[in-house]
Amino acid sequence: RLKIYEAFRPNEATRFLYDTTAAQLDWAALVYSDEDAEGQPLAGNEDPRVLDPVTGWEVDLADGLLLDPETEEKISREDLAQRQAEELPPSEDGLTPGEVVPEAPEDILDPSQPFFTLPEEGEGSLASETPPEPQPDAQPEPQPEPQTEPAPQPEPEPQTETPPETQPDPQEETQEADPEGEEAPDYETYFQIMTNNGRFSLGSFLAKVTSAHNRGIALDLTLEETGGGELEMQSAIHDLSWYSAAYLNNDNAKRLETYMTGSGMRGLSSEWWHFQDDETREAIGLTSYLFKGVDLKGWTRDGRGWRYRNEDGSVLRDTVFTVDGKRYTADRDGYVPDVP
């Protein structure tokens, strides 16, 4: 059966996700250590310890949680940041230490601008387009051998033809060495892992401006057994990296694709879980999106009949109004008797 993770998403969330992720692309990814917590070399038969580069704490790869070296309890990065923030006094501006209030986009601040945008290429390209051919070095590689210092990553091989969606955005090219001779970092960054060293861009996985989710015509979903338990795909759902690309689909992901495309929906070449109703979008000329949430404006019905709501959720009462070129009369309770 289908298991839906996400359908409608406010545009406010889309922009926050893109900006937040873009700001962290040059962070160090997980690093490996041949030493134990006391700094002593591990035995030859022991696997290297996986560490978080920011805190230096060990990471449980099964669930991604950090292991507190003092209490040996597991904790998420978000909970750790919250705990550390609560231990610090409030700042003069009243914000929790480390808290940042994102600035609203200029087109939202400007009331003269329309509350919509024209469609843009969002989360990757459509699956109907030709996906990138898997390169010999573009297949999932095994875990690297234990190293005290991560080996430098090879430069991606040039390609004669590169799909448009695989071009990195200018603002994402933060990992290149400084032209004055500054050396590149000696660790793998999230950018390298997510994009396969630049063969994909952040825009292949996250919409920069508007996504199909903001228009209510997209689903993120997977398959599960009726008794529970999701079918194994080539990556976890919402794994925003090239490991999720459709050309790497395993049999279960191909089965999901068959079900969804058979119903008329289309997928993305960069996300095995995403499908959208482009036919409906084109048929009704859908270009608007919702910034904060679902719009309450429109007809609503209860046990007594039909009423018409404003954008703020209030009901039109004791008035005459026009909708789609037709005039209606609402009584003092807001009910309209002549709704077809």
pLDDT of residue 212: 93
Residue 247 or residue 140, greater confidence: 247
**Degrees to nearest 5, angle at CA 201 with 181 and 235:** 120
All domains of the chain in start order, with CATH: 2-9+208-284 (3.30.1380.10), 30-99 (no CATH), 298-336 (2.10.270.10)
pLDDT score at 7 = 95
Mean pLDDT to the nearest integer, 223-249: 91
Q: Which range has the worst mean pLDDT, 27-36, 260-269, 270-279?
A: 27-36
Task: Tell me the average pLDDT across 83-92.
Answer: 68
Closest residue by Cα to residue 31 from 237, 188, 239, 180:
188
Asked if 169 and 207 touch (Cβ cutoff 8 Å), the reply is no
Tens of pLDDT, residues 201-218:
888 889 988 999 999 999
Q: pLDDT higher for 275 or 296?
A: 275
Query: Token pair for residue 277?
Result: 């109703």
Distance CA 322, CA 316 (A): 11
Highest mean pLDDT among 43-57, 134-148, 224-238: 224-238
Residue 90 confidence (pLDDT) above 70: no
Q: Where are the alpha helices (DSSP H) in 45-105?
A: 77-86
Report residue 168's pLDDT band, with 50, 70 and 90 as the boundaries: very low
> What is the predicted pLDDT for the residue at 167?
39
223-227: long-range contacts (C-beta < 8 A, 24 or more apart)? 223/1, 223/2, 223/3, 223/252, 223/255, 223/256, 223/259, 224/1, 224/3, 225/1, 226/1
104-163 per-position pLDDT tens digit: 333 333 333 322 222 334 444 433 334 444 444 444 444 444 444 444 444 444 443 333
Which range, 50-64, 129-143, 287-301, 321-335, is most confident?
A: 321-335
Q: What is the pLDDT of residue 196?
A: 84
Q: Which helix (H) or strand (E) holds 276?
A: strand 271-276
